[in-house]
Amino acid sequence: MPDAAFLYSEALSRFDFGDDHPFKPVRAKNTMELCNRYGLLYARNVIRPEVIPAAPGLLELFHTPEYLEILKRASRGEHDLEMLAAGIGTPDCPVLQGIYDFCLLVAEATMTCVELVHADVVGRAFNLIGGLHHAGTDHAEGFCYINDVGIAIASLIARGARVAYVDIDAHHGNGVQDRFIAEDRVLTISLHESGDGFYPGTGLETEIGEGRGRGFTVNVPLARKTDDEVYGYAFDQIVPPLLNAYRPDIVVAQLGADTLISDPLTHLRLTSNGYEAAVKGLCACSQRLVATGGGGYDIFRTANCWTLAFAAMCGLEPEDDYLGLVGGAMYGRVVGGLRDPEILTQGEEKDAAWHQARRVVRYLQETVFPILGAGKP
């Protein structure tokens, strides 16, 4: 059986949100070119399937029919007040012709990953342009018009699967949390930047679920300037113990790379090394993994990280056959390779990051771990 599937669509990577919009689907093409350069796409344990057309009603697994009708109108270039009330027509989510078809194709690609992993065709599958985790059931927000990871989770639990959702994007996965906050068949774990005025303003550690879902929502808010060391500590203390205790049938992951030190929209300080360590840690405790992209607004370094992520899913070490050759730069933009030098926060900012991480970890170990039967690592 192949280890991993790589989902790429030229139609998705070409979609344009506008010159001034931070969301750039072309990151997927950059990643595909790097994965090709580093020998990942044609390995014997990798497949590159076509996107499977969606079944009728796919988007309604998560979204209301009324909202989808609004989205279709926006896709035709129409404008009205009902659309604005649903979050479309804002700077984050402008009216874009063709946006409905783009969203449907994103959802189809993520669902193709679900079908491949659920049927044990592959152990892991990666949809680069998925991970639209902010959209709600009846509105768009945060660059997200639909919620493909929410659709995937809803599809899986309808089949009787136990699902864990792990989100390492710098922004809290609020749309997914809102939908499944009272659900004990879904364990949601989000590690993200916190702070006053930072979007979306949710994801406190005290948000641990409601009703029968109490204890099945886990948030790890991290301080500004959190670096590889602090992030790695928080990840290792929370994610593996909870996944091992919960024992999901399938893990759905959002692998946003806007945690990077160079990201223009966030304030964390990860390097590609810290990002890669988190993905490898996730792979180590996820036998069946549906992975999606997400945020990442330094588009070239995001492509580096997603290349490292896919290599981890394949169990391969990326090797650049063109490194050092004349003309090698024609085969992808890699300056100094995929991995960054070590960059660590110092002084009071590092102390504050450690204090926040340790406080949050302690709180979750005291409140959530007993509910799920998890032991400290």
**Alpha-carbon distances of 242 from 245, 288, 313, 364, 371, rounded to whole Å:** 5, 16, 20, 10, 10
DSSP 260: B
User: What stretch of H or E contains 289?
Assistant: strand 289-292
Q: In 3D, which of 254, 339, 341 has the Cα closest to residue 38?
A: 339
DSSP 269: B
Would you call 134 a catalytic residue per the annotation?
yes
DSSP-assigned letters across all residues of 192-244: EE--TT-TT----TT----GGGTTSEEEEEE-TT-BHHHHHHHHHHHHHHHHH
Token pair for residue 121? 């065709």
Across the chain, which distance is largest between two alpha carbons, in Å?
62
User: What stretch of H or E contains 79?
Assistant: none
**240: cis peptide before it, omega within 30°?**
no
User: Which residues, listed in sequence order, are joined to residue 215 by a DSSP beta bridge?
Assistant: none
DSSP-assigned letters across all residues of 123-168: SEEEETT----S-BTTB-BTTBSS-HHHHHHHHHHHTT--EEEEE-
Which of the residues 63, 118, 133, 134 is marked catalytic?
134
Q: How far apart are CA 205 and CA 217, in angstroms?
A: 9
Residues with a known catalytic role: 134
